[in-house]
Structures are given as structure tokens and as C-alpha cells.
Homo-oligomer: A and B are copies of this chain.
Amino acid sequence: MPLMRASPLPWLAVGLVGCAGPPSLGSPAHLVDLTHTLSPRFPYIAIGDLTFPIRITEISSFEKAGVYSNKWELTEHNGTHIDAPSHFAAHARGLDELQARELFVPAAVIDFRAQANADPDALVGVADVQAWERAHGPVPARAAVLLWTGWESRAGSQTTFVNAGPDGTMHFPGFGEAAVTFLVSERQVSGIGTDTLSVDRGRDTGFAAHRALFGADKWALECLAHLGDVPPVGATLIVGAVKVEHASGGPARVFAVW
């Protein structure tokens, strides 16, 4: 062991650094809640009377009955939520069929604020993913690729979050079909996410990004919060998706830890 005899200190240093590296599961050094509070005021995509904000109705009050409880009426795509593959793909898996391991994945955060600020119709292309990889290394296998557009600052207002033009067309940034196909085919991601209402751009009513994603049996997260508090690479995403039978999606509590 010539190296050890010549200089044992580097080995010791490597050992200590290596041990200090991975934080323990019980108390991660960093824990960020990526979830908006869902309320009747949270923005949503209006589609006639098919969609609506969550309706919360008190069924028992502490003052009258000593116990406080409500009932809710909501769609599967209100607030910070996950879409299951069955949302846009025939015979695809529902929310209850996603496995726990698919909801516990590396996070890759793309800062798309400059592009979104310059153009609310900005579209993530393969070149944007490749630019991110030049800076941060390859998108990890099984990752969730999360789009940080800065749209979160608009979430207090239905008008500015949806950002519809005079003809009703919505304008917010999103993933292009080619980028999604690249991520599922070449990078084996588990899913993608965004801080806007949809992984497709607001104006893309053909939902090409959704179809490419769900056709590949992956999931999507929408209306994420606090993506700016997560490093571009190195965090683990934990998706606490409610588990409802045959659901096309549902509210999720989403954490990033590292």
C-alpha cells in the first residue's frame, strides 16, 4: 500500500468527506415544501361548468358540536397536483397505480424565468435541456424535470396566473413536445413538473406535451411552489400524491429534500 505509507491523510480526508456527504433520511439538511395552499381562491383552468375551484363546506363546528370538520368538492386537477398517465392516454395507469418508487426521485430544476419573462408563450425545447446539461451534467435517470418559470408570483390572481388574451387564449410558458420526447426517451425521466397551470403552454390546446408524456407512461406535476428554493441538481423530490382509485390525477403534497 504505497500511497497509504507515503501519505495517509488524503485517505482519511476522503473518508470523512464521504461520510458527511449524504444527509440522513431522518433529518435532511434541507426540506422545502413545493405545495401551494389550496383554497377556493386558487387559480384553475375554467372549462364551462366542468371545472371549478374547490368548494369547502363545514359539516360540523367546534362551537356547536365540539368537533370541526368539512366536506370538499373538487376536480382532480385543482391546486398543486399530479396528473396520472390516464389523464390523456387510453388504457393508461391511474393515480392509484403509480408505484412509491416513482414518487421518490431526483429533481432537476430548469431556470426558465428569463425566457418566460421575455415571452409568456416561451417553449422549452431540446436545446434548453441540453444547455442545462452543459451547466449541471446529464439529467439523472428517473429524475423529475421541473420548470421554474417564475409564474408562482401570479398565483394570487386567477387573471394573471391564467393570463388570457382578449380572445380567451391563455398565455403561459410550457414544455415542447420534442423536449418531452427527449426526456422520456433519452433521459428516462419519471415525470416532469411546472409552476404554471399546465406542462403544455397555455396556448397549446392540442396538449402535445401531455400526450408525449402520458403516452410514455410518466406523470406530471402542475402548480408547484418554491422551485426557486431548490438547487438545479442534487435534491430528491417526494411526491405525496393522494391515492384515489382510477383517478386521472389529484392533489399532492410535494417536498424537496437534500
Residue positions of A touching B, CB distance < 8 A = 1, 4-5, 8, 11-12, 14-16, 18-19, 21-26, 28, 31-33, 35-39, 50-51, 54, 56, 59-60, 62-63, 66-77, 79-80, 86-90, 96, 100-101, 103-106, 207, 236, 238-255, 257-258
Q: Are A255 and B238 in contact (CB under 8 A)?
A: yes
**Residue in B closest to A251 when the chains form the complex, CB atoms:** B242
Q: A56-B244, A253-B253 are in contact. List 13 more A-B contacts (CB 8 A).
A: A15-B18, A18-B18, A25-B28, A33-B100, A37-B243, A39-B244, A67-B87, A68-B248, A69-B87, A71-B74, A100-B255, A104-B255, A252-B253
Q: Are A69 and B73 in contact (CB under 8 A)?
A: no
List, in ascending order, chain B residues with CB within 8 A of A19's CB. 15, 18-19, 21-22
Q: Are B73 and A38 in contact (CB under 8 A)?
A: no
A56 to B242, CA, bound (A): 14
List, in ascending order, chain B residues with CB within 8 A of A242's CB. 38, 242, 251-253
Q: Are A236 and B50 in contact (CB under 8 A)?
A: no
A35 to B26, CA, bound (A): 20
- Copies in the assembly, this chain: 2
Chain A contact residues: helix, strand, loop or mixed: mixed
Q: Which of B25, B51, B76 contacts A236 (CB 8 A)?
A: B25
Question: What are 20 A-B pairs with beta-carbon distances under 8 A?
Answer: A4-B4, A5-B8, A11-B12, A18-B19, A23-B25, A25-B28, A33-B100, A36-B243, A38-B244, A51-B59, A56-B244, A68-B88, A68-B248, A70-B247, A70-B248, A72-B75, A72-B76, A80-B243, A240-B241, A240-B254
A86 to B201, CA, bound (A): 39
State the 6 A-B residue pairs at the shortest beta-carbon distance, nearest first. Answer: A240-B240, A15-B15, A39-B245, A240-B253, A4-B8, A18-B19
